[in-house]
A and B are shown apart, each in its own frame.
Chain A
Amino acid sequence: MTKKMSVQDIATTLKLYWSKQGCMIMDAYDTEKGAGTMSPFTFLRAIGPEPWNVAYVEPSRRPADGRYGENPNRLYQHHQFQVLMKPSPDNIQELYISSLKELGINPLEHDIRFVEDNWENPSMGCAGVGWEVWLDGMEVTQFTYFQVVGGLQMDPVAVEITYGLERLSSYIQNVNNVFDLEWSNGVKYGDIFKEPEYEHSKYSFELSDQEMLHKMFDAYEKEAKRLIKEGLVHPAYDYVLKCSHTFNLLDARGAVSVTERAGYLARIRKMAHGIAQAFVQERRKLGFPLIKDENQRETVLAEFAKREEKKNKQKKNKGDKK
């Protein structure tokens, strides 16, 4: 490696690499969110029987992590490079390690470890099993086999790989301060993000209008619930994302007591669960078109029909007893 890769080079290299592994390269989703997992390209598409292979860069906002642009490692908004593959390929660890090689990281010159880290996002009803990947002691990637998403058991299982772009780039460029990273062509990360980091921190911690945020949360929630009933999965999900971000803003402001916190998270979880179920139903109505093998598609559809019939029967029996 002669010249150090810029952040942009790193993202582009990863995109090209995962595209060769059969992933679609998508763009970031345009609603605020705390993690790449919350993009509908992961949260919704991980659910259900259809295969799905995707990679994208997701700017992720975590208001409580803002540090006014003064901390070299903590950010209001960071960038995740997200890969989701369903079903999880047998050689996914090897695929991941090869991606590091593409970035000029030769495993023989470093210490790469898979250290247990089970992931949970209770507010979205998600849980998974996996590792954080350590590169010479630094956590550069979260590696998760999803087990439950939106309260639904995974079948088949999707595997998610989330690279922390800033972390990885700091390592590759050997800088100690995230704002010193080179984004590309001599433009520094700080040139782009230092000002918004300061302003967003100022806003989130000091100036946000709590009353307005509380009202917005209620309004978004109401709209999301209405849309779930209408079967409009995607618009409903957008409003859940807005709820989630609004909650994060309130939380950063210290406007949520521990008790209220549990209440808010439960409200978001309930909506996420409703959407997950609705999404599967909508895909089923379309006949799970991403299953390209016709026989397999028929089998899966038949299985779903059978399951539904059984459920209806149980419901009916219960009704009789009453």
Chain B
Amino acid sequence: MTHTFLLEIGLEEMPAHVVTPSINELAEKTEKYLKENRISFDKVQKFSTPRRLALEISGLADKQPDIDEEVKGPAEKIAKDAEGNWSKAAIGFTRGQGLTPDDITFKDIKGTNYVFVNKHVTGKPVTDVLSSLIDVVADMNFPTMMKWGTNKFQFIRPIKWIVALLDTEVVPMELVGVKSGRKSLGHRFLGNEVSIANAADYETDLNKEFVIVDADKRKAKIKSQIEAIANENNWKVKIDDDLLEEVNNLVEYPTSFYGTFDKRFLDIPREVLITSMRNHQRFFYVENQDGKLLPFFISVRNGNSDFIENVIKGNEKVLAARLYDAEFFYQEDQNHDIDYFVNKLKNVTFHDKISTVYEKMQRVQVISRLIGKKVGLNDSQLADLQRAAEIYKFDLVTGMVGEFSELQGVMGEKYALLFGEKPEVAVAIREHYMPISANGELPQSKIGAVLAVADKLDTMMTFFAAGMIPSGSNDPYALRRQAAGIVNIVDNQKWRLPLDSLMEKIITDENTAQVAPKVDQKPIIKDVILFIKERIKRVLRAAKIKFDLVDAAVNATNTDILYNINSAKVLNNHKEDADFKAVIEALTRVERISNKSDFKATDLFVDPALFENESELKMNAEVDRLSTDFEKLTAADDFSKLASLEPVIKEYFDKTMVMAKDETVKENRLKELTKLARMINYFAEVDKIIVK
């Protein structure tokens, strides 16, 4: 016969975002525990609300299966004394196994005789195994832990009750003074205490007490309620998954309702209204079929529909107070102008080791001008970019962003337009924060993209220069995300932007403009490049390109993000070509032999007079042909040029002894190969590539 076991941990309200991860953790750890303890089961069903985490385990075995196992003891010479009697060690060993020396047999292991016994272990009954399940509960991890009362024990919230039922019997267990039983609590206000007779009745018993314990069912109910309200009123309601998940974990018995707010608040920017409703009140906002915001909201009560008019009125009142505030800030902010806010930024610190935000904007003007020119913006675009860079952080000190910090950039765009800035400038202000998340939206406008890269590059350079370099999981200023942002934008815009020369120029120009930060940026250029290259590798690996190709492409000597990405793609596209192996081997051979010397870039003159065969002449002509524009071409063109050299290289090595006895001839040949190797290395570190 199999059994059903119910475990319910009753708690004071858990944080909404903790509920789902916690029940998943509990279920996983419980399954693992049962497996380790050799108790078979069919299924672990999860239940969760803000006030309870519960598992219903069905198809549980009666007990652990018995096991017969052979246990190894001491060597024979230790097990017996000189007279052949059992030693203390032997007696002790058998006693420890619950046996006597009569049970001993000997076995030879690598020439030594050892004591062995056959032990029969009777499986423990399921109840015994289950009662220790409380240790699994006590061992759970939560993002914040707390103590309460006089206990030293820490948990997510105080534990109020524990239900532990094997079919109809209570399984005894105890945690922080709370003993298990069959009594659970219903909904905080609508329900009563409930005594659960049978573990399998859990869901229905709680349902009677106004608790929908199945989180998925609860969620589905909320969704259909909201859809019904939307249909009745001919509204469009976007049911945001994250918000739905949060709301679902704030209620045990949901009843959705709608309320309204004064139409005049629709004059406030849409984003402000949505933020007030969604982020602050956990309301769903309402649109008409054309996507225009309507003065309504939908919310979910933790309870039934009795007296819902009170709940609606209260929620309307709260939202109105918030919108009144937003309206106040919106109007108050407009009493000033951009200069007023920009001036205020002189008193706002970007980081105390680096500079104020105002000074950061001065640096970003320099950086964005350099990038803007490099990526071919025209004069009018450069002028807009300059204006945007002069003011782009101004909204940080507006009342609205002070109140709704999540609207930074968004309000910047709105206010910039209201203050008469050009749309291009306003858009760039909003877009410079992009991407906001790992795979977030990228800037659409060129000016926005340049400003975004300039702002992020300045952050990286100055933070690195101030010694605040991310390590392990420690990245408080999200520099990794910023670096990934640079990579994604540059890739998206298809910009050729060599980072080493750019950063050198940035430092020079900042000094000339007298806007350099307090910290020295010169020594960190290499580190910043390596840091950004690490992000390029991640992007490429995520695109399922093999790691050896990724490493080869990104480890190339060039520091051009787009070129690195394209080299990896080119290698990936050609990796199945019939001649790929031959090409890579030829190029690798050049690279390796050229490593035997170390010439300065200015010392690579090859003297044709020293050539001794045709293949050298041919090689020389090809290297010269490639050199003229190698660093200007695309990675694809460079690769096909290099690949076309394969027969030339092969013939060269067949006919030519590079390490000639004559030093001058040898050096001349090494210089030739070095010239070629530098082009190869610019494209990729080819010897990283694994060819079979």
Contact = CB atoms under 8 A, between A and B. Distances in A.
A135 interface: yes
Contacts of B158: 88, 90, 145
B146 A147 contact: yes
Contacts of B321: 72-73, 176
Interface stretch (B308-316, B460-468, B529-537, B652-660): B308-316
Given A108-B190, A111-B303, A259-B349, A71 B148 contact: no
Contact of B319 (A90, A108, A113, A137): A137
Interface string B413-433: 000000000000000000000
B315 A136 contact: yes
B307 A71 contact: no
B575 interface: no
B12 interface: yes
Contact of B348 (A73, A74, A258): A258
A4 to B, nearest CB: 15
Interface of A: 71-74, 87-90, 93, 97, 107-116, 118, 129, 131, 135-138, 145, 147, 154-157, 159, 171, 176, 254, 257-259, 262
A189 to B, nearest CB: 16
Contact of A155 (B152, B303, B324): B152
Contacts of A262: 352
Contacts of A171: 314, 317
Given A111-B302, A257-B347, A259-B352, A156 B313 contact: no
A73 B307 CA distance: 26
A259 B454 CA distance: 24
Contacts of A145: 146-148, 158
A183 B319 CA distance: 25
21 contacts: A71-B325, A73-B325, A74-B325, A88-B149, A90-B160, A107-B189, A108-B190, A111-B301, A111-B314, A113-B250, A116-B13, A129-B146, A137-B299, A137-B311, A137-B319, A138-B318, A145-B147, A155-B147, A157-B146, A157-B151, A257-B349
B604 interface: no
B547 to A, nearest CB: 41
Given A110-B314, A136-B318, A257 B348 contact: yes
Contact of A157 (B17, B148, B320, B328): B148
Nearest to B353: A259
Interface in B581-638: none
A74 B399 CA distance: 14
A110 B146 contact: no
B379 to A, nearest CB: 37
4 A-B pairs with least C-beta separation: A136-B314, A116-B15, A137-B315, A114-B13
B302 A113 contact: yes
Contact of B147 (A74, A110, A147): A147
Given A88-B148, A116-B15, A154-B147, 14 more contacts: A72-B324, A88-B149, A108-B307, A111-B301, A113-B302, A116-B14, A136-B310, A136-B315, A137-B299, A138-B318, A157-B149, A157-B150, A258-B349, A259-B349
Contacts of A176: 317, 320-321
Nearest to A71: B328
B12 A114 contact: yes
Most buried by A among B16, B146, B303: B146
B314 A87 contact: no
A159 B318 CA distance: 27
A75 to B, nearest CB: 13
B118 interface: no
B149 A254 contact: no
Contacts of A136: 310-311, 313-315, 317-318
Given A257-B347, A257-B348, A258-B348, A107 B188 contact: yes
B347 to A, nearest CB: 5
Interface in B148-179: 148-152, 157-158, 160
A171 B18 CA distance: 31
Contact of B314 (A138, A154, A156): A138
Contact of A110 (B50, B160, B311, B317): B311
A155 B302 CA distance: 34
B85 interface: no
A108 B189 contact: yes
A261 B273 CA distance: 31
Given A116-B16, A154-B147, A156-B149, A135 B314 contact: yes
B144 A118 contact: yes
B36 to A, nearest CB: 32
B281 interface: yes
Contacts of A87: 149-150
Given A111-B301, A257-B347, A138 B317 contact: yes
Contacts of A107: 188-189
B53 to A, nearest CB: 16
A136 B160 CA distance: 25
Contacts of B319: 137
B306 interface: yes
Contacts of B12: 93, 114
Contacts of B50: 114
B282 to A, nearest CB: 8
Contacts of A88: 148-149, 158
Nearest to A110: B310
Contacts of B160: 90
A98 to B, nearest CB: 12
A156 B320 CA distance: 41
Nearest to A257: B347
Contacts of B150: 87, 155-157
Most buried by B among A89, A147, A159: A147
Nearest to B281: A137
A90 B314 CA distance: 30
Interface string B316-359: 01111100110010000000000000000001110010000000
Contacts of A116: 13-18
A115 to B, nearest CB: 7
A311 B72 CA distance: 48
Interface string B643-683: 00000000000000000000000000000000000000000
Contacts of B347: 254, 257-258
B352 A110 contact: no
Contacts of A112: 188-189, 302
Contacts of A113: 13, 250, 302
A21 B97 CA distance: 58
A176 B17 CA distance: 32
A109 to B, nearest CB: 4
B147 A157 contact: yes
Contacts of A115: 13, 16, 250
A82 to B, nearest CB: 19
Contacts of A72: 321, 324
Contacts of B152: 155
Contacts of B320: 176
Nearest to B350: A258
Contacts of B157: 129
B316 to A, nearest CB: 8
Contacts of A74: 325
A217 B17 CA distance: 41
B306 A108 contact: yes
A91 to B, nearest CB: 9
A114 B325 CA distance: 24
A72 B320 CA distance: 11
Most buried by B among A110, A116, A131, A135: A116
A90 B151 CA distance: 11
B12 to A, nearest CB: 6
A145 B154 CA distance: 12
A131 B16 CA distance: 11
A237 to B, nearest CB: 25
Interface string B281-308: 1000000000000000001011100110
Given A138-B314, A138-B318, A110 B349 contact: no
Nearest to B346: A257
A113 B187 CA distance: 12
